[in-house]
Amino acid sequence: MSDLRRPGSDGELDRAELGEGGVTAIDKLIAGQDAALFEVFERNQQSQWIASIVIALTLVASLFLIAPMSWVYLRHNAGLPQAL
């Protein structure tokens, strides 16, 4: 963008200085950046979905381990006398 500035200008560019081709180029650049941003957002959303599934499966797997082990522990302790 620095090559489009006129010497002695205050650094601000308006549409008249850019011309129709420059405005079109900037619009295409912004549209491309928006598309890339939406793609990153979509990937992030997909990764969060996969992470939630992994966490849910981890919880289910831990229940399958904890419930039988606690049942075995309680059955084992039921036959032993209580310690004073």
Highest mean pLDDT, choosing among 10-19, 21-30, 53-62, 66-75: 53-62
Dihedral angle over CA of 36, 42, 44, 45, nearest 10: 160
Buried b (16+ CB within 10 A) or exposed e, 11-47: eeeeeeeeeeeeeeeeeeeeeeeeeeeeeeeeeeeee
pLDDT value at 39 more than 70: yes
pLDDT value at 7 more than 80: no
pLDDT given for residue 80 in this prediction:
65
* Residue 7 CB neighbours (<10 A): 4
Note whether 4 and 22 are within 8 A (CB): yes
